[in-house]
Structure 1
């Protein structure tokens, strides 16, 4: 009998069968997505977002150098605002990647695994907060006593560790998403639920304590807003799309990014600085970049180096403010022309990024990633 003939169906069941044996033939299935697939495009996005944060803080130094006023140095003012407008996708994109990791990419198997993730983010948060406070104490630039700032830092970010505010929102949102994932898988993560309850009620707990003790309670930074949840869940959905855009579709994202970036700069300079993360201009910029990069093929020869740099991204994020405060802010020239301001900004960004990634890679080799990120 020809082996390529079509299967018949049995009269009883109607299921397809082999002509010779009359045994059921399984229905064809779509190819399953690889389990624990390593997403090099996500590595690339982490690197892009980390560098964007560094660019934003370097740009902020230019804006502060002219006291946020154009007449104090128009070239530095516009160089700073244009560069700052280019980085506004970074924080929303970090939420998007967090959503993808918890919901799609690497969902926690149990509460213990989730607590490991929480510690992996929380321990460097407090180590670096202590480092920044000690650094400011040595320079005599703290605006409050160290003890007060240390207590305040338990509940929210403090200067000079101002950039760490993000982790006070990032950690609760991955906790909440993981809690839902674990509940859906049939588990009962009581400890995680109790921690979320504390986060939700912490402002009112402190207010109650203050009422009875006259203690001036610190501002609570733990928690997340609606916008961060939306970025996380939509980002998870878009990152999980199996095919990504075609080459033509990716190019269509570029004009959307340009238009939304112009909108961000307009808002920052003409309406209010800084534009909210929940603004439509920021959302369009974020999701356009996401679709541009998602599922892009990274050449194999670049993958080891990219993964290594992506692993150092959190550490670079943690340390870069040292270099912004000690180097960039000292060297900004508010009186330079357009060419001088543009070249200086790019040079200072490159310097800060190289130094930040350099020291992060160094302590990674020394086995300090757990403590320093």
Structure 2
């Protein structure tokens, strides 16, 4: 599995609740969600080209899409702090369940795929146990959810406590359990000698920063002329590409270069008016974004990887990346929309 460019993407936290609570649907957020989901596919497609030796193509593709993970954290922050704040313990746990249920299903499906078609699993059945503690090789792109779920839990409990909406008994208990779990698992490993995997359910500080600062920017919808934000996107992209060529590849999500690109994209998209004729399609794609994130790695492995390994160096490589990434994204959105129509989104995302 490619490790050069870690994955992104995100579940639709709060998007369904907007309609239920009578809030105006933010079509600019829908647009941002679809854009970031497509960027997730480009991140992993670029990683395949990097692993195949197409360095320039891979770095440029990765730099153009590295904003997606931080932007998803920002959307999560906006949803739970401003767009659709939780009103009670049960609602918060229900939101988490809508993420954890498809996450478990797809972890099992990727483990099965690896067993049937991939190289031998490292540890065999132990991989399934490792998935309870953190992301596994077969479904490595799901690492994001091991940070995303605790982030939603932390922000949700904070909303309930500060807003005095309800007493978050069970969610606070779960948050406390996640807080002590890393040290507890190490202690159990020391006392028993059991080979417990490292604990992965944790929130990095940069994720919390993107969630809160991004929520503030998205809640404001727009600050300053949009052409300036678009110019900022172009400048930040060039800066990030130079950074990745010369300093660190892949760039950390907490790096200044990634942050600059992320907030420039957020500022450019926030407040965009989507034409009415495009809204129905956009909403359908937005609702399918979580499922697209979960399934897209299969299409990257089947479509992008063989092309990346065979395409010659030179001009053909960036063209091949663009074509295969678009194809993988289109197929991923298509199958996610399909199982949504079949009523399977509860289990498949």
Q: Distance in 2 between matches of 1:359 and 1:142?
A: 28
Q: Which runs of 4+ in 1 moved over 3 A?
A: none
Aligned to 2:58: 80
Aligned to 1:149: 127
Alignment of 1:61-140 (within 5 A): 61-66=48-53, 76-140=54-118
User: Paired residue for 2:40, among 44, 53, 65?
Assistant: 53
Mapped contact 1:62–1:334 kept (Cα < 8 A): no
**Are 1:288 and 2:275 matched, yes or no?**
no
- Which region of structure 1 is more displaced relative to structure 2, 253-262 or 100-109? 253-262
1:229-256 C-alpha deviation (Å, 9 max, x unpaired): 11001111111115x246xx11111222
1:97, CA displacement in angstroms? 0.2
Specify every segment of 5 or more residues in structure 2 that has no aligned partner in the other structure, as ranges.
1-20
Aligned residues: 328
1:363, CA displacement in angstroms? 0.8
User: Paired residue for 1:190, among 169, 178, 203?
Assistant: 169
Mapped contact 2:45–2:321 kept (Cα < 8 A): yes
Aligned to 2:241: 265
Alignment of 1:1-373 (within 5 A): 36-66=23-53, 76-186=54-164, 187-241=166-220, 244-245=222-223, 249-333=225-309, 336-373=312-349
Q: Distance in 2 between matches of 1:251 and 1:184?
A: 37
1:333-357 C-alpha deviation (Å, 9 max, x unpaired): 5662432112111110111011111
1:204, CA displacement in angstroms? 1.3
Taking structure 1 as the reference length, the TM-score comes to 0.85
Q: Distance in 2 between matches of 1:36 and 1:267?
A: 41
1:132, CA displacement in angstroms? 0.3
1:17-39 C-alpha deviation (Å, 9 max, x unpaired): xxxxxxxxxxxxxxxxx961210
1:161, CA displacement in angstroms? 0.6
Aligned partner of residue 338 in structure 1, secondary structure: coil
Specify every segment of 5 or more residues in structure 1 that has no aligned partner in the other structure, as ranges.
1-33, 67-75
Q: Distance in 2 between matches of 1:329 and 1:180?
A: 43
1:98-152 C-alpha deviation (Å, 9 max, x unpaired): 0000000000111111111000011111111110001101125243233210110
1:43-84 C-alpha deviation (Å, 9 max, x unpaired): 000000000010111011000001xxxxxxxxx321111011
Q: Distance in 1 between matches of 2:241 and 2:281?
A: 33
Q: Distance in 1 between matches of 2:303 and 2:267?
A: 35
Mapped contact 1:133–1:142 kept (Cα < 8 A): no
Aligned to 2:9: none
